[in-house]
Amino acid sequence: MDEASIQKMRGRAKSALTRIINFFSDHINKAELPSRIERLDNVFKDFDHYDAMLPEEQSEMEEFEGKYFEMKGKYQNAVDAWNCSSIVNSPSIFSENCSSTNSKLPRLNIPQFSGKYTDWLAFKDLYVASVHNNKSLSNVH
C-alpha cells in the first residue's frame, strides 16, 4: 500500500472518530452502548494500524489517542450511570460504586456521649441505627 492510500485510510479512521464524538449525547440508549464502545475500539485499532505504517514524524497518534480516551471515558461513565440507575431501582441491591447525588447530608441530632458506661448502649444503638446502617451514606461520608 502506498503512503497516500495509508493516509487516506488513517483519515477515514479520524473521520469516524469525529462522527462518534459529534453523535455522543448524555441521553444515549443503554442498548446502544456496547455497540458504540466496540465501534470506538475498532476505530482506534484501525487508526493505530495505519498510523504505524507511516513515518514517525507524520504520526498523529497523540492527538487521536487523547480524543479516543476522552470518548472512552464518556462511554464508560454512561455505562456506570446506567448500572447505578439499575441498582438504585432495585432496593435489594446496594453498590458502593454508585456515587450519591446528594452532596448535602441531613442534619443528625445525636447527643454527645457522656462517657458513662450506663449511657453507652443507648448511644451506640442510636449511632448504629442512624449512621452505620444508613445505606444512603457512602463510606466517604
| Sign, CA torsion 82/84/88/92 | positive
Q: Could you report the per-residue pLDDT of 5-50, keeping only the tens digit for each?
A: 999 999 999 999 999 998 887 567 888 889 999 999 999 999 999 9
**What span, in angstroms and rounded, lies between the C-alpha atoms of 54 and 115?**
74
Q: Could you report the per-residue pLDDT of 2-13, keeping only the tens digit for each?
A: 999 999 999 999
